[in-house]
Structure 1
Amino acid sequence: MLERHEIEAFLAVAEELHFRRATERLGLAQGRVSQIVGRLERRLGVALFARTSRRVTLTPAGQRLYDGLAPAHQEIQEAVAQALATGKGITGTLRVGFSSAWAGDMVLRTAEAFRRTHLGCLVEIQEIPLYDTFGPLRAGVVDLQLTEFPVEEPDLVAGSVIFSETRAMMVPADHPFARRESVSVEDLARAPLIGVTGASPPYWREYIWPSKTPQGKPIPRGPTFVYWLEVPPLVASGRGISVASLRAARYHGRPGLTYVPFCDAPSMDYGLIWRRDGFTSRVQAFTDTLCRIRAGRP
């Protein structure tokens, strides 16, 4: 019979294939996982891992044990989570918003894991328009939102940064900047900048689409947009340039566009926000699930 700590230590090493990372993942003292696995191997009389100075791999016996233990361990974890969710009243509907495609990917992954452990709670997901980034949350259309920071609203709470993206300049493919490896924030003063219009706070718009460079040079204004999908064709047609996440090239790339990273701009930070009076057990459970997935602990 295997003890719980032996199962968890074995599974952590089998998934990380690295004793130090497995130790950090379990929050144990340095060397503790190696001791547990070593005792387990001696008790079973078989080697579960092949160790060299450079790598750790599963032996055939270790792989067979992992294939048998991992699904059962997952089922136990989900059963416990479901029991806790029932006891805490995590039922009903949770509405989660996102403001970009890459934030949407994170929300969808989290929702899939959340549904497995909170069977009594329905998750609804929707995109939040940039022209009114806090409006749906305030109106109760969504309960929780993964969005661009900064957030400095007295009625809203911002959690910690979940992930950060490199900031880039979106330019026409024939623009002189397109031939560079990187650009400077000061270069924004040399071309009209396409920005968002609408009800989003001025400080939020200024952080993403600034009106001046760090040296105080005015940035000429180009056309404005309401929905982000308007931006790529505006840039490709030469109407102006835009600021975007570098990752946007994977979602909004098209002929006639180039994304050039900034060498001196702050990152684009994303995090969860919720109403100050709306931190329910559902919101907390979804937040915990997202943080575990982001940390590599699904």
Structure 2
Amino acid sequence: MMEKMIFGRYIPVNSLLHKLDPRSKLCAILIFIFIIFIANNAITYGILAIFTFLALYSSNIPIKFLFNGLKFIFYLIVFTFLLHILFTREGDVLVDFGWLKIYERGLTQGIFISLRFLFLILITSLLTLTTTPIEITDGMESLMKPLRKIHFPVHELALMMSIALRFIPTLMDETDKIMKAQMARGVDFSHGSLKRRAQAIVPLLIPLFISSFKRAEELAVAMEARGYRGGEGRTKYRQLNWRTMDTIVILIVLSLGGILFIFRT
């Protein structure tokens, strides 16, 4: 399951989103994260669903691949939905089974919050699916360039965030390999009491931490061997180019926020 996680992976295909400037994608996602909290009824969430579908379609990434990667997060979405249904006690009672009561407010909140979570995961995943780690680093560095005036380490922060995103799928693959190796030795991660499952995770965490530190050391040595000394004086082989389509994308996302504000209750 973990090897199918979509977050942090780059898929090289020919699409509109792949051709966009990384700065426009970063800005569009930040705006989307803000405006998604404007939605508060069925109409606004329907508009968000249409926008999310169009964004996924324009990426040319197979929908089946995207939702296979969401299986790992599906349980968290279901857990969030159940929390709202069971513990929100406002509005009319829709279901009454003695100790179990489902209220109208809890049901609607559970659906809306779960959809909001799903849309956020899908849209933010598009950043890494359609943008290389180098492009993300250059985009972040360019957007934070004004902070250099106060001697803020812009390049180092952008590089750190880019490396973190890049190593998410690597760590997931490593976790999956270690789990399979432990299962071959008789470790059971899916059965038994909660305490027993927690104890079974310990043999997984120790080699994972060791592997993570080893990879970090190898990366540091490789960067030093290639003469990396930070962002000072560093030149770029490929320059970022903001085009008309990037401006159009930002205007579309801003228009989405305006439409949601009009239809919200």
Same fold by TM-score, threshold 0.5 exceeded? no
Greater RCO structure (CA 8 Å; 6+ sep): 2
Higher helix proportion (structure 1 or 2): 2
Higher strand proportion (structure 1 or 2): 1
Larger Rg: 1
User: Please, what TM-score do these two structures have when normalized by structure 1?
Assistant: 0.19
User: Please, what TM-score do these two structures have when normalized by structure 2?
Assistant: 0.21
